[in-house]
Copies of this chain bind each other. A is one copy, B any other.
């Protein structure tokens, strides 16, 4: 396998935690990795090769213009490594929009794909998350793009989480077919016409926000505006409830002691709901596989993201999407 290009400069904990996560993935699984960034800031790579890039696109920079103008940035160089056959996939915990833009502009869309989408695993009560897409790549969508999102999400759910026959739901505000926005109504009609058995998938109709963390849907399709609002709403809710719990645990000495006894039972829960466990989101639809990690990614999250990227490359998700879209 060609090495995975890791943007060493992207994210709140770059470069230190990113480099350590990459080193760990390499040392424990032998994954070939190339780091991209400023060699003097990256420090000890533990023997991993480095593609030098002198610029860093800031977390809050405008994606389009920064990718166009900062040609020697770690993100652009990472995407070019994939385009030029030096790397098999790219990963960044940096500016989400710029990560997406660099992958899209440098590696291009898979033939037939109308728009790439961000696919994000949403944890639920079982070990198998629901794939939400588009989680923010396209603020405005056409109904037929959503059909492609469903096709791409199906492939991702199967490749990454082993879902044999993914159940596709359309995110709406009522379960009946006629409920929702004009976009949803049109998308429902198109999704209902597809012969999903040919894709080893099933269209289950409309789902609601409360089903995102449920067990009945494997691939939830929506436009990037709604998807991003839902994703961030989930993140905020989980963070708030966990924060309030931890505060309550500190009420007094007695609750502190009781809470300590509970930690062994709570830890697996925490891991199940922790976004880092899933290694981030994936941009589906570009020729170069691209993993978009959370800005707050630490060492663990980066090691997990590298394992996701490895799976995506080895299972040829890009080839599978090409096949699904072009028949």
Binding site for B on A (CB under 8 A): 124-125, 136, 139-140, 171-173, 179-182, 184, 208-214, 222, 224-226, 228-245, 248-249, 251-252, 254-255, 257-259, 261-262, 264-266, 268-269, 272-273
Contacts and interface: CB of A to CB of B under 8 A. Distances in A.
Nearest to A185: B139
B262 A224 contact: no
A138 B230 CA distance: 18
B182 A140 contact: yes
Number of copies: 2
Contacts of A224: 173
B251 A265 contact: yes
Contact of A265 (B125, B225, B248): B248
Given A180-B225, A235-B210, A254 B261 contact: yes
* 6 pairs of A and B residues whose beta carbons are closest in the complex: A210-B236, A209-B232, A209-B233, A258-B261, A173-B228, A237-B237
15 contacts: A136-B173, A172-B225, A173-B225, A184-B225, A212-B236, A212-B237, A213-B240, A225-B226, A229-B229, A245-B266, A248-B262, A252-B265, A254-B261, A255-B261, A255-B262
A235 B213 CA distance: 10
A106 to B, nearest CB: 23
A228 B213 CA distance: 16
A125 B266 CA distance: 21
Nearest to A250: B265
Contacts of A265: 248-249, 251-252, 255
B237 A234 contact: yes
Contacts of A125: 240, 243-244
Contact of A209 (B172, B181, B228): B228
A134 B49 CA distance: 53
Nearest to A139: B181
Given A139-B173, A209-B232, A249 B237 contact: no
A249 B269 CA distance: 11
Given A251-B265, A262-B249, A208 B232 contact: yes
Contacts of A214: 236, 240
A238 B236 contact: no
Nearest to A236: B210
A230 B228 contact: no
